[in-house]
Structure 1
Amino acid sequence: MIYKYYTYVVLLGLLISVMSSASAQQVDVTVFQQAIQKKDAQVFDVRTAGEFNTGHLHHALQADYTKKEEFIERVQSLDKEQVVYIYCLSGGRSTAAAKWLRENGFREVIELKGGINAWKQAGLAVEGVADGLQMSVDTFHMAVASGDVLVDVGAEWCPPCRKMEPVIQAFLKENKAVRLFKVDGGRDRDVMQAINATSLPTFILYKDGREVWRKQGVYDKL
């Protein structure tokens, strides 16, 4: 009887420990704000692109949790060994996404309790509110009409796009005659449709207005 009671106490203690650990993964706005001020903090926004463009946290990366293929693809560019600070609108999607991350090998995931709604209610600022002004298709065609132009269809909030920055710079260093032209993957929808760029990042090399090659996704070298 004593042995059974001891076993029960031990199991209860383990259960309480696990529950405490799980709850500790969700923090309030003040703690979250202080944590993400650290250099190279991985801040992960799992809302839609449209929501993201209404304002997001500083240096946040974005992947729509409701789009499983996009979410899983972009997650590959996060460092599993570093803490991921995750949020959504009010906390529902980020809780589900955080659970997925933990189950798939991420060492530590910290959730913003109440999401960006709580952040705004605390009077804290957001950045990246889209101005709604798209690049025109004519402007794009004029930009690539002459010479060698590398078109980078991406966004600062896209994890694979950010991962490709050193690769782009290495390509430009090796090909000094090539100009870089950026298309905003969260804003320039008309241009993306015109050139059939359906995913981020997409890289297209133009020579005097003619497409020479295109690549999508993450590469070690362009």
Structure 2
Amino acid sequence: MKNLRPLGTLLLALIFTTSVFAQQSKKRELLSFEAFEAKLNAAGKNAQILDARLPEEYVQNHLEGAVSFSIADKTDFEKQSAKLSKEKPVFIYSIGNGRSGVLAADLRAAGFKDVTEIPGGLSKWIGLGRPVISTTGKGLSRDEYTASLKSDKLVLVDFGSRYCPGCKRLDPTIDSIKTEQAANVKVIKIEAYENKSLVKELGVVGLPTLILYKNNEVVWQKKGGASKAEIEKALKGQTL
């Protein structure tokens, strides 16, 4: 019987750990975009909207009613969160759901009862044509964009942001392809948040997004990170 005690203790620990992990995973689950919008609208003036990006990103584009909430350290977090009500709903966004997820977890740990992230972040919000307060202008028109695609080569368009971690990780790969395949591929980089109308028209709802054109027609598209091998495979498939 004594030999069973350590096993029983181990099983209890495993059950507890699994339970905690399940609760954390459940908290991290994101609403559908439609459900998020409905919840935000229902909250009305009680909505506390937080922009988890850098202040300079906030200045460029932000949701109406949002406040800049870029937290540098624990002291800063405690100071800023003290200005909020733990009883009112909190809505958070970043470019995707990276920084917003970290802030959401911190707020829940601090006792905030109702914390919700924008599913897909600001990139999806803008890509779906939802309004923002902006200082960047509309950027390229659809006609100007279409004109830039005219080429005898394949055209690889990279929609990203200089503030997007995933975009930064992809940059060296895109630069490498631009150099190595200059004879076959024309590479165009688009700063998404400076071209909001274009992003909306093309339905770009995540960053980075790669779109490959051949004779002005889309032949391949990928949202999120892509390896060099994956991109090269897509390019090779159009040059055979």
What TM-score do the two structures reach when normalised by structure 1?
Answer: 0.48
More helix by share: 2
